[in-house]
Structure 1
Amino acid sequence: MRLSELAVGMILWAVPLAAQDLTVVSWGGAYEAAQRRAVIAPFAEETGRSVTVARYDGTWSALAARGATEGWDVIDMLADQARVACDKGLLLALRPREMFSRAALSDFTPRRPDRCAVPQNAYARVMAYDDRAFPGIKPTGIEDFFDTERFPGPRALQRGPDGILEWALLAEGVPPEQVYGLLSTDRGLRLAFRRLETIRDDILWWSDPSEPAQMLAEGRAVMAAGFNGRFVDVAQSGMPLDIVWDGRIIGIEVWAIAASTDTPDAARAFVAHAARPEAMARLAERIPYGPTRVSAFERIGLHPETGVPMRAHLPNAPQHGGRVLVRDDAWYANTEALRDRRFRAWLARGD
């Protein structure tokens, strides 16, 4: 930690913290387990505070419905959901320049902290498959997710439009840099849903991020769309599961603070702690989500239990190759109602 950053941190910690415990809201599964060890437990040990972890489905609407009544303080959110929640007044203003030094702010990548959110990790939505299902030719590109003749069997897919619309256009040959522009048009949406229609009868829907890897492990699906960290966790346990990095969609997860929190100073202290390079590196060593600070990368070593070098498994590792999309958070925030409406209409046509 740089001296100037340490000085800012000392000012923040000098604020008297109230006696109440903190409630941190996360996603469950291997990801939450890694967070508990890498971020939450060190914060509790350093401050003497007790931290309760709650779970939710990642949506701003869950924050609106449950945040105040359940006493949520700090929330792990997708960047686009935090953008919507911020606009709706559900999140506390963070004042990043008071929480971080100028040098620390310039250390964040690819996005800096804003008025309601502090970037914490980069994840990827990827395709994975059960190696046992394809003893010969293996899937290698995102087009193979839609090719049920060469690669027959059920596909595990999140029950919603996120990610699959981008993949559908990539499978149609649309260059990555044109995907979001095309999805902003009716023609682009119709093209994406037309491609999705080709696998309608082969889809197994999931709603919990831990499900796709489990579906592969249990043999219920031969391919699955999900988050890279969940798949790597299952693969390291011995499951013959392979990840296809082509077409990966890299997104940013952020820390945000509920506007209804009773402990804003303690919540800001937690976010500042979690945004330290060493905290980000500890998390990346336990689950392969890339840190959002440049100085954290050099700190990432081996998985503390398996001894696996973790840098190679990060979603933005250069050796993965293939096509890559960076999730357009503004597009996601601005098209939420439209995407949901079009997706529900598409589902209804198959009932």
Structure 2
Amino acid sequence: MKMLNIKKKTTWLRAGILGSGLLLASTAQAFTVISFGGASGDAMQKAYYEPFDDQTQVDLVPGDYNGGLSRIRAMVETGNVSWDLVEVESPELIRGCFEGMFEIIDWERLGLKNQLIDSAVEECGVGTFVWSTVMAYNADRLDKAPQTWADFWNVEDFPGKRGLRKGAKYTLEFALMADGVPADEVYDVLRTPTGVDRAFAMLDKLKDHIQWWEAGAQPPQWLVAGDVVMSSSYNGRIAAAQEEGQNLQIAWKGSIYDLDYWAIVSGSEQVDTAYDFIKFASQADNQAVYSAEIPYGPVNPEAISQLSDKQAARMPTADANLEGALAMDTGFWVDYGEELEQRFNAWASRL
């Protein structure tokens, strides 16, 4: 299995107190952990929440959201912080760190830097798993299997509605790959005005056939119901549907992979507990339990040996699944994300 090394745009130089082993937090106040929920949240419940609560007697209260920074920003600006630890995607992590929404991670205190893959180490975040946004399809509803994003755009040979995430991120990359741009050239093209126009022109061609999703649970639900015949989707959501006996399949070529991170909300009164939890959730044994429940790649390499060959082969980080895949360019979306999302929203409002 190939480990990832996504280029970091920030530094993590800060001295701190050396931590040795898992500290047991002692507080009566509830500790709130916010994730993206769904099948991943269920896996976190088994791998992290319940065993952490059993070992520490911390009152851990899980919750979920659909991402974004608006609610976190409002909490920090008003000083009314009710979330302690949040799962965030990499562009939001970097942007939120720059704006002061997240605590700077004291990596000496955490004591994990040498245990995790390089891309899990960020100034304000600790990577927790590697995931992919993939093309998924219902094999019971198509006569032949689509292989590429060009197939996704081909409504003549593959008739039916398609699902795409309602936003610029991922969608613009897929549009360019559908137009023949190789995965390793996508961000170079998208950095040019001509490339952006090209991506939106591709969306214009498909707009009448798109059903837009906003929550990760929607693509597998729509695929099973027949509302769409193929959709972009988080790979773990499709795996969960497969476990339930649904004949949903993944085309890995042209997938986009990245990490999700734990970030401590600035102003949290549970910083000590957050460090304890992050350390606990980063241990190989616990990461293996999580990845066995949902095929997102562990960031602690020692967890790999605890997975079966079948389980390892379903990870985004498996060599076969990385072939033709695209690493999320976090710096690109930090630099251009706000502008592109505004243009996407204006475009979508005219549909």
Of 141, 161, 181, which residue of structure 2 is paired with 1:154? 161
Aligned to 1:347: 348
Aligned to 1:273: 280
Does 1:10 pair with 2:23?
Answer: no
Of 131, 140, 143, which residue of structure 2 is paired with 1:132? 140
Aligned to 2:12: none
CA distance in structure 2 between the aligned counterparts of 1:74 and 1:345, rounded to whole angstroms: 33
Q: Structure 1 residues 104-113 or 20-29, which shifts more?
A: 104-113
Q: Secondary structure at 1:10's aligned position in 2?
A: coil
Aligned to 1:75: 86
Aligned to 1:167: 174
Of 224, 230, 235, which residue of structure 2 is paired with 1:217? 224
Of 60, 85, 97, which residue of structure 1 is paired with 2:108? 97
The Cα offsets for residues 221-274 of structure 1, whole Å up to 9 and x where unpaired, read as 101111000001101211111111111100110001011211111111111111
Q: Structure 1 residues 42-51 or 293-302, which shifts more?
A: 293-302
Question: Which stretches in structure 2 are left out of the alignment for 5+ residues?
Answer: 1-16
Aligned to 1:120: 128
Q: Secondary structure at 2:113's aligned position in 1?
A: helix
CA distance in structure 1 between the aligned counterparts of 2:69 and 2:27, rounded to whole angstroms: 27
| Aligned amino acid, residue 99 of structure 1 | L
Q: Structure 1 residues 219-228 or 156-165, which shifts more?
A: 156-165
Does 1:21 pair with 2:30?
Answer: yes
Give the TM-score taking structure 1 as reference length. Answer: 0.90
Q: How many residues align?
A: 333
CA distance in structure 1 between the aligned counterparts of 2:250 and 2:57, rounded to whole angstroms: 40
- The answer as to whether partners of 2:120 and 2:259 remain within 8 angstroms in 1 is no
- The answer as to whether partners of 2:102 and 2:266 remain within 8 angstroms in 1 is yes
Question: Which stretches in structure 1 are left out of the alignment for 5+ residues?
Answer: 1-6, 303-308
Aligned to 1:63: 72
CA distance in structure 1 between the aligned counterparts of 2:349 and 2:21, rounded to whole angstroms: 55
Return the offset for 1:210.
0.4
What's the % identity of the aligned pairs? 29
Q: Secondary structure at 1:89's aligned position in 2?
A: coil
- The answer as to whether partners of 2:81 and 2:268 remain within 8 angstroms in 1 is no
- The answer as to whether partners of 1:213 and 1:234 remain within 8 angstroms in 2 is yes
List aligned pairs for 1:231-242, cutoff 5 A.
231-242=238-249
CA distance in structure 2 between the aligned counterparts of 1:232 and 1:114, rounded to whole angstroms: 28
Aligned to 2:315: 314
Does 1:195 pair with 2:202?
Answer: yes
Give the TM-score taking structure 2 as reference length. Answer: 0.90
CA distance in structure 2 between the aligned counterparts of 1:256 and 1:176, rounded to whole angstroms: 29
CA distance in structure 2 between the aligned counterparts of 1:263 and 1:316, rounded to whole angstroms: 33
- The answer as to whether partners of 1:106 and 1:112 remain within 8 angstroms in 2 is no
| Aligned amino acid, residue 338 of structure 2 | A
| Runs of 4+ that moved beyond 4 A | none
Return the offset for 1:11.
5.8
Q: Secondary structure at 2:140's aligned position in 1?
A: helix
| Aligned amino acid, residue 200 of structure 1 | K
Does 1:335 pair with 2:312?
Answer: no
